Chains A and B, each alone.
Chain A
């Protein structure tokens, strides 16, 4: 981005609150029109987002210079976004904010979708905080919320893949391009890797599983406490929830139901997904065997499972 020229409009990232709020890296150009970015652990170089969720708080604050500032928070399945609407916002955004604040005061649930600019500031101690400045927003219904969740899950999964692919590549521009990382992810991945070092992306997988449950209207599953990451660690293994045996079977069946595209679902996929839902791996293995032996499942080819119709 060359100084002095007005930049192109920055793209908007569909992003869960967990990915955005965990970001502590930023970049700001020196020119008047140089965009400012928050760079996430997955390497998204974010100037603008499309986010949605339940409006949880929206309050007026008087700032030191006498202008008014609405501060709010919005919850999605992965966490909370903090945002503010000040005098700098457009008239329509400020009007909408007043309407939403009234609704919230009256105890009405508000599902909100917003297109917002990323903001960050640094405390004197050097800690980075991020927030959002909505540009445009609207109330949405549960169906639209579900659609936003699916888009966001898909984009996040794609970023997770680019992130994983980038780990085995030479940490240079050419290295990442060579590893098939698309242009729009390269700059972010180069600096995020330097800044965050080794990160654990398992949490994002859990967020996505829960978000997809909601999108499918499977509220039961979404309401269950999120399972701990893969339990094959060490001494704690004894504490892993083994779950009710029939529950394991039900889970396995529902996983195969969902994932079967006609050829069945392979052994490893069934097990990873069962484990990710909080079940013990060896128990899941046993139950998969049992289901196969009792004739609920069959193996059209070795290691691939289908439900017997």
Chain B
């Protein structure tokens, strides 16, 4: 055979004098041509093969028995558990403040950090204690507002006052990033960067205000409140005032000690007795018209619980529905709407001047509110004057929004709101063992576990077909469920062929055969997403594997990244 592998063959023969040089050379050729393994990388495998049974024993004792704790630390949950001479302690705390100062230590200029920390960081409104700390590191990952676990700190007691010393050997693990910026009182924050909970100070202009009532659940009457919306140049936020608020639309206010509360997915400011509201003067502050622009949202930006939303959408389906409440027949109009960023539902409590033959119809919505059902936003129209019919859409009128799917990067899907009419591409990183045939509860369509539904008990169930995959773009992972049609077309089988394949191979081998086809490969899936705290789920009605040419990609990468 070729002389190409001469040096490599020689090295093998040096170790295995009995081996046939032709065979060794053929082995190198096979690794290279069939498996893309260059000879230097194939050496070890080929050597092993020709050495036969005498495998070199792995070097270094990698036994799994060694423990990973370098030093024992004393773990406490409260600062009060600590004594003045405690060393090597571990505790989770919230960093309240963090300051850096230069200090000369033994003639050497050194930076150290100090500030306040607070124990019991996870319990809302729980009892908390604050201590001072000094960080001799200083560690760059200590930031105000973050919750960190401090491992290996020591207690310092000086004139009866306790503090914590964070030494250079102390480990700091950030458990929660500083989502609650700790700001000095009286310093206004941008609306776009407000925390989801807590007390804040802002300067903003009133965009909308209206009286409202909250009815007590126990029927003891109602409370008069004011609802409205405030804006600065970074964003807008709804507010609810429990106290009378006489200011008109357009007034610029400075509001101190307002409480942010998050209702559904939407933060809202609450003004109470302790909130300080005063008129603020700033000639350069944007006017109402400029600020109002920001309340115009695209469908992809809608969040459950949002109010005072403006949007321009196309109604693609619209129908009247009736239902009975308190023995009285009532009507509701609802349908599908779309804009170039996606699709969702819309409902109206009063009749709109829309007939089916006018569809699709573009409308401007003003001051509407958003509810969500299974995470999919649903715009609610309460009165007819919230809707203005437009002659033409502000986007390309040729766009068929009814069947329009929007390509969205996976990591954007995984954190945003739930969406309809999207498609995405990512790598398959898991094919779950329960892919294939499943039984769904006859009542609620949930998948039966061992012949029973969690809510409706044992039942025979209805057959269905699905794949349960995990897909990943290196930044986020999303659970992908393909429905029956998408599954069959993806596998290129009909139902009976699929049944045959599973019967022949058994469930485990069938799933493994899917992995051979899919794992590590790129897939495109389209459908809708449901996003919650546990991550995102993509329910796909279409899916296909994407073929790529490795050689072409490699050359593109060289050009793009300038590596030869």
Which residues of A pack against B, CB within 8 Å? 1-6, 8-14, 27-30, 48, 50, 52, 54-57, 59, 63-64, 69, 71, 75-77, 82, 84, 86, 90-92, 95-96, 107, 109, 111, 113, 115, 120-124, 126, 129, 131, 135-140, 142-151, 153-155, 157, 171-173, 182-184, 187, 190-191, 194, 205, 208-210, 212, 214-217, 219, 222-223, 225, 255, 258-259, 261, 269, 272-274, 276-277
Contact with B175, one of A13, A29, A71, A225 (Cβ below 8 angstroms)? A29
Check A3 against B122 for contact (C-beta < 8 Å). Answer: yes
Which B residues lie within 8 Å of A154 (CB)? 553, 557, 561
Which B residues lie within 8 Å of A269 (CB)? 562, 564
Give the CA-CA distance A122 to B42 in the complex, in Å.
31
Chain B 182-214, CB within 8 Å of chain A: the 1/0 string?
000000000000000000000000000000000
Check A113 against B551 for contact (C-beta < 8 Å). Answer: no
Check B535 against A223 for contact (C-beta < 8 Å). Answer: no
Check B159 for interface membership: any CB of A closer than 8 A: no
Check A219 against B563 for contact (C-beta < 8 Å). Answer: no
| With A54-B35, A109-B37 already in contact, 5 other A-B pairs whose C-beta atoms are closer than 8 Å | A12-B429, A63-B65, A113-B519, A143-B550, A149-B554
Give the CA-CA distance A62 to B178 in the complex, in Å.
46
Check B36 against A212 for contact (C-beta < 8 Å). Answer: no
Give the CA-CA distance A41 to B184 in the complex, in Å.
37
Check A258 against B558 for contact (C-beta < 8 Å). Answer: yes
Chain B 20-45, CB within 8 Å of chain A: the 1/0 string?
00000000001111111111111011
Check A140 against B48 for contact (C-beta < 8 Å). Answer: no
Q: How far is the CB of A146 from chain B (nearest CB, A)?
A: 3
In the complex, identify which listed stretch (B224-232, B287-295, B400-408, B471-479) lies at the interface while the others stay far away: B471-479
Contact with B70, one of A30, A122, A131 (Cβ below 8 angstroms)? A122
Contact with A151, one of B49, B64, B68, B427 (Cβ below 8 angstroms)? B427
Nearest residue in B to A6 (C-beta to C-beta)?
B534
Check B429 against A146 for contact (C-beta < 8 Å). Answer: no
Q: How far is the CB of B120 from chain A (nearest CB, A)?
A: 12
Which A residues lie within 8 Å of B429 (CB)? 12, 48, 50, 115, 136
Q: How far is the CB of A171 from chain B (nearest CB, A)?
A: 5
Check B502 for interface membership: any CB of A closer than 8 A: no
Contacts known (A142-B35, A214-B36, A215-B553); A29 close to B140, Cβ less than 8 A: no
Check B515 for interface membership: any CB of A closer than 8 A: yes
Give the CA-CA distance A107 to B563 in the complex, in Å.
36
Contact with B564, one of A13, A215, A277 (Cβ below 8 angstroms)? A277
Nearest residue in B to A183 (C-beta to C-beta)?
B475
Which residues of B pack against A, CB within 8 Å? 30-42, 44-45, 48-49, 55, 58, 62-66, 68, 70, 92, 122, 139-141, 143, 149, 173-178, 411, 414, 427, 429-431, 433, 470, 472-477, 479, 508, 511-512, 515-516, 519-521, 533-535, 548, 550-551, 553-555, 557-559, 561-564
Most buried by A among B66, B173, B519, B564: B564
Give the CA-CA distance A7 to B145 in the complex, in Å.
21
Contacts known (A57-B48, A150-B557); A8 close to B519, Cβ less than 8 A: no
Q: How far is the CB of A98 from chain B (nearest CB, A)?
A: 12
Which A residues lie within 8 Å of B519 (CB)? 113, 115, 136-138
Check A214 against B66 for contact (C-beta < 8 Å). Answer: no
Check B175 against A2 for contact (C-beta < 8 Å). Answer: yes
Give the CA-CA distance A24 to B31 in the complex, in Å.
32
- A-B contacts, 20 of them at CB < 8 A, read A9-B470, A11-B475, A28-B173, A63-B64, A75-B37, A77-B38, A111-B35, A121-B64, A138-B512, A142-B34, A146-B551, A147-B553, A150-B550, A151-B427, A173-B177, A184-B474, A219-B38, A223-B38, A223-B39, A273-B563
Contacts known (A9-B479, A52-B520, A77-B41); A208 close to B563, Cβ less than 8 A: yes
Check A139 against B516 for contact (C-beta < 8 Å). Answer: yes
Which A residues lie within 8 Å of B122 (CB)? 2-4
Check B140 against A92 for contact (C-beta < 8 Å). Answer: no
Say what secondary structure dominates the interface of chain A: mixed
Nearest residue in A to B511 (C-beta to C-beta)?
A92
Check B551 against A216 for contact (C-beta < 8 Å). Answer: yes
Nearest residue in B to A251 (C-beta to C-beta)?
B564
Nearest residue in A to B31 (C-beta to C-beta)?
A109
Q: How far is the CB of B152 from chain A (nearest CB, A)?
A: 13
Check A145 against B35 for contact (C-beta < 8 Å). Answer: yes
Which B residues lie within 8 Å of A147 (CB)? 520-521, 548, 550, 553
Nearest residue in B to A260 (C-beta to C-beta)?
B559
Nearest residue in A to B561 (C-beta to C-beta)?
A157
Check A157 against B564 for contact (C-beta < 8 Å). Answer: no
Check A144 against B557 for contact (C-beta < 8 Å). Answer: no
Which B residues lie within 8 Å of A217 (CB)? 36, 551
Which B residues lie within 8 Å of A155 (CB)? 474
Q: How far is the CB of B78 from chain A (nearest CB, A)?
A: 15
Give the CA-CA distance A154 to B429 in the complex, in Å.
18
Give the CA-CA distance A29 to B42 in the complex, in Å.
39
Check A29 against B173 for contact (C-beta < 8 Å). Answer: yes
Which A residues lie within 8 Å of B49 (CB)? 107
Give the CA-CA distance A77 to B31 in the complex, in Å.
13
Give the CA-CA distance A308 to B562 in the complex, in Å.
21
Which B residues lie within 8 Å of A222 (CB)? 38
Check B34 against A138 for contact (C-beta < 8 Å). Answer: no
Contacts known (A11-B472, A92-B433, A171-B140); A109 close to B550, Cβ less than 8 A: no
Which A residues lie within 8 Å of B512 (CB)? 92, 95-96, 138
Check A259 against B35 for contact (C-beta < 8 Å). Answer: no
Check A123 against B30 for contact (C-beta < 8 Å). Answer: no
Give the CA-CA distance A82 to B535 in the complex, in Å.
30
Check B559 against A148 for contact (C-beta < 8 Å). Answer: no
Which A residues lie within 8 Å of B55 (CB)? 57, 59
Which A residues lie within 8 Å of B476 (CB)? 11, 184
Check A184 against B477 for contact (C-beta < 8 Å). Answer: no
Which B residues lie within 8 Å of A1 (CB)? 175-176
Check B472 against A12 for contact (C-beta < 8 Å). Answer: yes
Check A95 against B508 for contact (C-beta < 8 Å). Answer: yes
Interchain residue pairs A-B with the least CB separation, the first 6: A273-B564, A146-B550, A215-B554, A107-B49, A8-B535, A150-B553
Check B41 against A216 for contact (C-beta < 8 Å). Answer: no
Most buried by B among A120, A154, A210: A154
